Structure 1
Amino acid sequence: MRVAAFGGIPEITAGDDLVALIGDAVLAAGFEPRDGDVFVVTSKIVSKAEGRIVAAADREDAITAETVRVVATRAHPGGVTRIVENRQGIVQAAAGVDASNTPEGTVLLLPVDPDASARGLARGLRERFGVRLGVIVSDTLGRPWRQGQIDQAIGAAGVAVLDDLRGSRDSFGHQLVVTQAAVADELASAGDLVKGKASGMPVAIVRGAGHAVVESLDTPARALTRTGPGDMFRLGTDEALAEGRAVGYAEGYQAGFAAGLAAAEAASRERGAQG
Structure 2
Amino acid sequence: MTPARLTVWAVDGIPEIRGGDALAGILGDALAGEGLEAGDILAVTSKIVSKAEGRLVEAADREAAITAETVRVVASREHPGGVTRIVENRLGLVMAAAGVDASNTPEGTVLLLPLDPDASARALAAALRKRFGVPLGVVVSDTSGRPWREGQTDIAIGAAGLRVVDDLRGGVDQHGRPLAVTAAAVADEIAGAADLVKGKAGGRPLAVVRGLGRLVGPLELPGARSIPRLGERDLFRLGTDEAIELGRRLEREGR
Measured against the shorter chain, the TM-score band is over 0.9
One-letter amino acid of the counterpart of residue 189, structure 2: E
**Residue in 2 that maps onto 1:68:** 71
User: Which structure has the highest helix share of the two?
Assistant: 1
* Amino acid across the alignment from 1:202: P
2:213 aligned to which of 194, 199, 210: 210
SS of structure 2 residue aligned to 1:115? helix
Counterpart-to-counterpart distance in 2, 1:88 and 1:111:
9
**Structure 2 counterpart of 1:126:** 129
Matches of 1:10 and 1:229 in 2, distance apart? 43
Which SS does the other structure have where 2:122 is aligned? helix
8 Å Cα contact 1:122-1:217 kept in structure 2 = no
Matched residue, 2:9 = 4
CA contact (8 A) 2:163 2:221 kept: no
Give, in whole Å, the separation in 1 of the partners of 2:104 and 2:176: 51
**Contact 1:165 1:179 survives alignment (8 Å):** yes
- RMSD of aligned residue pairs (Cα, Å): 1.0
Give the match's secondary structure for 2:253. Answer: helix
Q: Partners in 2 of 1:217 and 1:26 — Cα distance?
A: 24
2:26 equivalent in structure 1: 21
Q: Distance in 2 between matches of 1:218 and 1:57?
A: 39
Matches within 5 A, 1:76-225: 76-225=79-228
Partner secondary structure for residue 251 of structure 1: coil
2:23 pairs with 1:57: no
How far residue 246 of structure 1 moved from its aligned partner, in angstroms, is 2.0
Give 1 or 2 for the bigger CA radius of gyration.
1
Structure 2: runs of 5 or more not aligned: 1-5
Which residue type is aligned with residue 18 of structure 1?
L
Deviations 1:30-51 (A, max 9, x none): 2121100000000000000010
Q: Distance in 2 between matches of 1:198 and 1:34?
A: 28
Instruction: State the TM-score, normalized to the length of structure 1.
Output: 0.89
Offset at 1:251?
2.1
2:27 aligned partner, one-letter code: I
> Unaligned regions of 5+ residues in structure 1, if any?
253-275
Q: Which amino acid aligns with 1:117?
A: S
1:218 deviation in Å?
3.3
Number of residue pairs matched by the alignment: 250
- What is the TM-score when the length of structure 2 is the normalising length? 0.96
Contact 2:157–2:225 under 8 Å retained in 1 = yes
Structure 1 residue 71, shift from structure 2 partner: 0.3
Matched, 1:244 2:247: yes
Deviation at 1:215, TM superposition (A): 2.2
